[in-house]
Structure 1
Amino acid sequence: MNQKTPKIVHVVDDDPNDLILTCRWLEELGIETRGYGGAQKFLADPESRCCDCLVLDVCMPHLNGLELQKQLVAEGWSGATIFLTGLNDAPSAVSAVKELGAVDYVLKPETDDHMQEFKKRVLATLEKQAARTLETESRRHTAEHLATLSQREREILQLIVQGLLNKQIAEQLHISTRTVEFHRAKIMRRLEVNSAATLVRLVVQSGVLEQPLGRVPQLNLGHPVEIRGDKRH
């Protein structure tokens, strides 16, 4: 894994031997690991959710892994969850992956091959989680910059996203083409992009589009876009 990949995994398993082995395998990968001997112990620790990935045993007394995952989802848990399951529990784990927001399930390792597969799946999950975190940060960063745009810049950005050229934007807003070029350059500098295609992609990915491209989208930038007929620059 590269340095940007999250490396914090918490393991919940009521079997002490399995818990020790699972944590040891993860630590061999350079992953910071913390083990909990059951769901109740996990919930009792205020720092238990401070991780990038959870490895949950499906079959545990009092509160099993599926019930714990359901509770975490209700709390707004946004990390990745991998279920560890015995062969007889596999159907339940598959259901949880689909319905409870878990990202994967793995059979409890009983051989070296199983152990290597477990490590591989955990690493893949962490890589995906890291990519998702970076994407979320990118969207937040873009949204913050969009919020700083002036009313005129919002008007121009709205029309850029709709696919209008500088001359068309100038005609629609009743301003000069040079004024459009000036504001367009400011928008691109502020959003740290160097092409219209990248600009549109960032706006779309930021989630401020209320409608998809091709259907005259409206930008939700915090203020309504008003098209005025004056010659304001």
Structure 2
Amino acid sequence: MINPRQADATEAKIVIVIDDDPSVRKSLTNLLQSVGLDARTFASIEEFLRWPLPDAAVCMVLDIRMPGRNGLDFQQDLASSDGAVPIIFITAHGDIPMSVRAMKAGAIEFLTKPFRDQDLLDAIQLGLELSRSRREEIAAASLLMSRYESLSGRERQVMEFVVSGQLTKQIAAKLGLSEITVKVCRANLMKKMCAGSMLELGKMSERLARLRGAQPE
């Protein structure tokens, strides 16, 4: 059983609640505040969309059936955007096909009202941890790309040969450079990339290849 109070209190964490029932919003706000979580409530998806997503670990407690756009369709919209948010569905009128669709699309949990408070809190903690991990991955990828972009064109060429296992004299011959120049370029790129070893540089190169491959043309 997971208690949100066990989480790192120094990191901002916000739980978004979208439900058209005022009593549900009030009840969930009281529950979340009782365990030290910041709750932001909205009566509709449209109301939520007018609110700028904060720079924090977030997860969403989302009712499926509401006036206007339903929760399942909104889940698809979020999944296709850059602001993906872990979702926990709650509903008073759920069925198996609905729950299967939600879970296949990546929902953390599908809870039918009335549900146990602890079941919801456990799902929320999982969602917040997933959000935190995603934020760390995005930050790490951004830092790696920034370091690579700081390299000169020649340093990038040398890096490509270095991670492929080429020796200094081989790189010098292929690029028409002196061995001393290659050594200087290698030392500079290792420093700029903050790589402690050739093995680490190789892993960075693989990660960069994946990141560049994921970017749209």
Give TM class, smaller chain.
0.7 to 0.9
Match in the other structure for 1:107: 111
1:98 partner amino acid:
K
- Cα deviation, 1:2-24, whole Å, max 9, x if unaligned, reads 25644012100122222222222
Deviation at 1:39, TM superposition (A): 2.5
The DSSP-based 3-state class of the residue aligned with 1:206 is helix
Alignment root-mean-square deviation, CA = 2.8
What are the ranges of 5 or more consecutive residues in structure 1 without an aligned counterpart? 212-219, 221-233
Q: 1:28 to 1:170 in 2, by over 3 A?
A: farther
Confirm whether residue 31 of structure 1 aligns to residue 37 of structure 2.
Answer: yes
The DSSP-based 3-state class of the residue aligned with 2:201 is helix
Confirm whether residue 16 of structure 1 aligns to residue 22 of structure 2.
Answer: yes
TM-score using structure 1 length: 0.74
Deviation at 1:165, TM superposition (A): 3.5
Match in the other structure for 2:199: 197
Give the counterpart of 1:69 among 66, 75, 98.
Answer: 75
Deviation at 1:156, TM superposition (A): 0.5
Q: 1:30 to 1:203 in 2, by over 3 A?
A: farther
Q: Distance in 2 between matches of 1:197 and 1:10?
A: 42
Give percent identity, aligned residues only: 29
Does the Cα contact within 8 Å between 2:190 and 2:196 map onto a contact in 1?
yes
Confirm whether residue 82 of structure 1 aligns to residue 88 of structure 2.
Answer: yes
TM-score using structure 2 length: 0.79
Q: 1:152 to 1:41 in 2, by over 3 A?
A: closer
**Please, which moves more after superposition, 79-88 or 31-40?**
79-88
Give the counterpart of 1:172 among 171, 174, 183.
Answer: 174
**Please, which moves more after superposition, 140-149 or 163-172?**
163-172
Greater helix proportion: 2
Q: Distance in 1 between matches of 2:43 and 2:211?
A: 45
Does the Cα contact within 8 Å between 1:6 and 1:130 map onto a contact in 2?
no
